[in-house]
Structure 1
């Protein structure tokens, strides 16, 4: 979003929220074992309960 011009604060908030959702629910990361941040967090919680 660097260099993005928004027409309003509401538009900026909406676009940022959409980016955050995409980032945490749809994009796997190799540093997280090719899981999305959401999947990694859920797996970590399950692993902690099993321990």
Structure 2
């Protein structure tokens, strides 16, 4: 089995799901906070991921949360 890597310079065309997640994470976490240290960034990211995976509806899941899906 061969491993297919994403070619440099064209990730949005080869893996749209990851690019969508990265864009959402960037706009909802990275652009909103000024982190004082790595521990704070990790804590806020963990809180955001919990909400993202349990409370937030996803279009790709018929507007259900991943937990319900």
Q: Which category describes the TM-score, using the shorter chain as reference length?
A: 0.5 to 0.7
Higher relative contact order (CA 8 A, sep 6+): 1
C-alpha distance after superposition, 1:1-51 (max 9, x if no partner): 2333211111111000000000000001122011101211xxxxxxxxxxx
- Of Structure 1 and Structure 2, the greater helix share is in 1
How many matched pairs? 40
**Structure 2 counterpart of 1:2, from 10, 30, 34:** 30
Structure 2 unpaired stretches of 5+: 1-28
Once residues 10 and 29 of structure 1 are traced to their aligned partners in structure 2, the CA distance between those partners, rounded to angstroms, is 28
> What's 2:14 paired with?
none
Once residues 33 and 24 of structure 1 are traced to their aligned partners in structure 2, the CA distance between those partners, rounded to angstroms, is 14
Cα RMSD (Å) of the superposition? 1.3
> What's 1:20 paired with?
49
